Each structure stands twice: as C-alpha cells, then as structure tokens.
Amino acid sequence: MKKISLFILVILTSFLLVGCKKDINYSDIYENDVYYTLFVRSFADSNGDGIGDLNGVTENLDYFEELGVTGIWMLPIFETAPGFHNNHGYATVDYLKINADYGTMEDLDNLLNEANKRNINIILDLVINHTSDQHKWFLEAKKGTDNSYRNYYHFSSGGSAYSAFPGGMVDLNLNNNDVKNEIFNIVDFYLDKGVHGFRVDAVKHFFEGPKVGSDTAFMLELNMHVKDKNPDGFVVGEVFDYDYDIVSKYYLSQASYFNFYVQKEIQSKVGEGSRTNNLSTSLERIYNNYRNIKHDFLDAPFLGNHDMDRIASTRGYMYSVERRKMAVNILLTLPGSPFIYYGDELDMKGYRYEGAVIGGNTVYDEYRRQPFIWGNDYQTTWLPSDGSNDDTKSYIEQKDNENSMFNHYKEMINLRKSIPALMYGNDFHAYEMEERNVQAYVRYINDDNLTAAVLVIHNISDIEYELDFELNYLYGSKNLQPFSTAVLEIPFDELEAYI
C-alpha cells in the first residue's frame, strides 16, 4: 500500500510521539539496527573480474542509504581454502588476511571509514567453531602429539581430527585457553579497525557433551570481551534451532541471537496460510520466554539467510508476492534488530541443488547465494545463471516502480526507523481481533529516554476489513486492504486499555 501522504505523516509524527525528546539521538542510546546480510562475492564487482569485492561494497554505500538499512553483516571475508565449493568462505585459512578475491586489508579499512561517515555499522562473520584443514594451526597440529598446536583441535586416539562440518573444516578446541586468546586477539584486531561487532557462526556446535551451558559460558566471555573493548559493540550468535526453549537459555550470555522460531512461524502462517489466527500469541509466547531469561534481550529476527532457500523460492511464498510483502511487514514491525538477506529486496529466487551440474560445476547450495541483480556494470558473473532469476527485475528497473519489492522494503524500513516504538521498543503484547486472519500486537517502550506505543494490525487474508479504532493512523487506514498493514499510535496514558 503506497501512500505518500501517510509516509510524510509518519515522518512528522515521529517528532510528536508522546514522551519523545527532540534533543536525543536514540540511535546513540539503543543497540537496535536494521541489518543487511551481504555475500561480498555476489554483490558488486568494482574491477571487472566477475567477482564481488570490498570496493564494490564501498562504491555502493549510497544503495544502503537509499534502502534505509543502518548496518551490514558481511559473510566471511577472510582468506579461505581454495576451490569452488569453498566460495562460501567458511573454511578459514587466515583470520588476519582478506580473501584475495575481495581485495586487501586496506580496502576493508576504506570501507569501514566510509561506512562510518554514513552511520552504517559493519559486523563481520566470525567463524570460530572450526578452521580449514589448511590453516597454519592445523598444519602444525598434524605434525605430532608433541606439537604445541596439537591441542588447538580435537584428535581421536587414532589421530583423526573431529569435524562437525564436512569439506575440510576441522573443529577448534575452545576449551584451550591458547585458542581462546587467539580468538580474542582476532576480535581486538578488527574492533580496533572500527568493526562494530560480529556474527558468531555455529554456536551450538562449539562443545561436545552438555552443550548449552558450555556454549553460553563461552559466548558470555566473548560478548564481555567485545563490550569491554567497545561498549557499543554488537555480538549476534547463530544457534540454528527452532526450539525457542533451547535458544532462550543462550540469552544468559547477554548476546543477541537469530530467531529461527520466528522465521518458521512467519513462513508457516503467512507463506503457507497455516493457523494464521495464533500468530500474535505465538510471538508473544516466545518473547515472554526470552524475557524471563534476559529482560532487555535484543532479538535478531529474519525471513531468510544463506543457509536456506530464498523466500521467493519457498513453499507458500513462491506463489504470492502479496504474502511475501506481508512477511516483510511483520519482520519490520517486530522487536530487535531485523536482518534482511541481500537480494530479497529484489524478490530474487534461489534454492539448493543436490549435485546438479550447471555451467560445468557440480552445485549444491551455491544458488542460494547467486549474484545480486544490479542491471549495470556492478553485476557479478562468478556463478553461471541457472535461469531462476530470468524474470526477476533488476535494481535499476525496480527503483522507479513504486509497487516493486525494492520500494516495499524501502518503505517499511523507513517506517520502522521513523516510529520509535517500532525501532527501539522491546515490549510486545498480542492484541485480539475479531477476525482470525487479522493479527495485531502492541509494541511499546517505556524508559528514562522514551515513552511511546503503537498498535500494529496485519490483514493476512484476501478479504478487505474495516477498522473502527479512533486512533491516529501512522500508516495505513481504517480500510484494511487484503495483505496490508496499519500502524496506529496509542496515547501512552491509554496503553493499559490495549495490553
């Protein structure tokens, strides 16, 4: 629903909401950001070699500003083991060297400096569960049981190293203080350069045996180390588990975590249309669960990532652009720091193959990470087209189309940023509507800096509804169109009537 007058109203209202203080820059107080998940190899080619690089990211910082994101998570950029199937970057050979395909350390410095000028935070993928079997630590460890690096890894009595993941990735021994110190030195190296923080890969695989306690203790120490170095530093962990009872325990570490349960709930209820009537109560339940562990938890919701088939190629979503847009509306009105997977804002497709041969390569998950579609000379060509995006419009084509997916993401991101209760509020309460396919929730914040509240209403159906709330409509209108959203301002002194 494109309503320019409403959008202008949102911008004006953001300065008038109850309790807002005009002289405060809330982004300096709260950790919340809107992150863009970026696979450098597929994003923007600055030198014509067909491979995305760091300079391509720097040269397109205008794009991120236009879209409205405030942070970028770059998938692994460190030197990685060679080979087509290691293009993902998770088989680290040297943490203190940049993948030569992407550029140099000076290129990273330049990117960080330019991003900082635009108040865009950059976090790096920190892969510390394992290294490549070509890392110098492992090459030393293989020399024998007396080698000083032997205890950097887990070796069986037969001399083989333990690997949680295939493809020459061997697990580090995180019980070893020498390994921990190596990791903290790597963290310090990049924090000193101006990196805002880290996405920590494969947290649930850190330790064998009783996992959650050991994993959480390590993440607590890592998070504290980052915060000691930079109080504004951000750590978000990947615990790939749909059981929110398990994930909630990780919040004892004080770090943030990706919300796989929410991702699955939105896909099920919005993409597939299954039991839409309990979406809001399901969300409230999980947030209350997390809040019992850490009251001021910072969630990291998302719709898709590099380990999943793209939204537009996923069951349910693939048949309905309206449902995909509705999922975006929900993502960008939830608490926390939402993450957007690159290319989803163009409605790109992509899915996993099981050993198909495309362009002379045997492929698996590479097409979940295929080239961003620019429509200009920044287009990367490292991966031959599989035809899945032949009909996907490029950024150049979408940016001037007000109904495009790009402009829908842009609108919802800027809506979120303009309403403090959406951007910074942590409290969430389900609000019961008469119609089962109309789901609503209250988002609010009440602290020493800010008091503000909104009612968010989503119509997850193809039926039009009329709303009868006598509130200020910040977005949408009383005429709630199919698969559309309305955001209403709640006077803070009336909040109790809605929760």
Do residues 333 and 487 touch, judged by C-beta distance below 8 A? Answer: yes
Beta strand 71-74 with 356-358: parallel, antiparallel or unpaired? unpaired
Is 438 strand, coil or helix? Answer: strand
Query: CB–CB of 348/310 below 8 Å?
Result: yes
Q: Pick the catalytic residue: 215, 238, 344, 366?
A: 238
Active site (annotated) includes residue 466: no
Alpha-carbon distance of 93 to 102, in angstroms, equals 15
Decide: 168 and 151 in contact? Cβ < 8 Å. Answer: no
The residues near 314 (Cβ < 8 Å, ≥ 6 apart) are 267, 271, 304, 308
CA–CA separation, 447 vs 468, rounded Å?
30
Question: Distance between CA atoms of 192 and 121, rounded to whole angstroms?
Answer: 14
Main-chain dihedrals φ then ψ at residue 134, nearest 5 degrees: -105, 5
Nearest to 55 by CA among 45, 65, 63: 45
Alpha-carbon distance of 146 to 162, in angstroms, equals 18
Give the SS3 label for residue 135: coil
Three-class SS of residue 474?
A: strand
* Contacts with 122 (C-beta within 8 Å, 6 or more apart), sequence order: 71, 72, 73, 74, 111, 112, 115, 194, 195, 196
Q: Is 238 designated active site? A: yes
Q: What is the dihedral of CA 363, 367, 370, 375, to 10 degrees?
A: 110
Q: How far apart are CA 314 and CA 366, in angstroms?
A: 16
Pick from 9, 67, 120, 13: nearest CA to 414: 67
Choose, from 101, 201, 344, 386, the residue flagged as catalytic.
201
Identity (one letter) of the amino acid at 70?
Answer: T
Cα 13 to chain centroid, rounded: 28
Distance from C-alpha of 46 to C-alpha of 54, rounded to nearest angstrom: 8
CB atoms within 10 A of CB 340: 24
Alpha-carbon distance 498 to 444, whole Å? 11
Cβ-based neighbours of 348, under 8 Å, separated by 6 or more: 310, 312, 370, 372, 373, 389, 392
* b/e map 42-73, b = 16+ CB within 10 Å: bbbbbeeeebbbbbbbbebbebbeebbbbbbb
Active-site positions read 201, 238
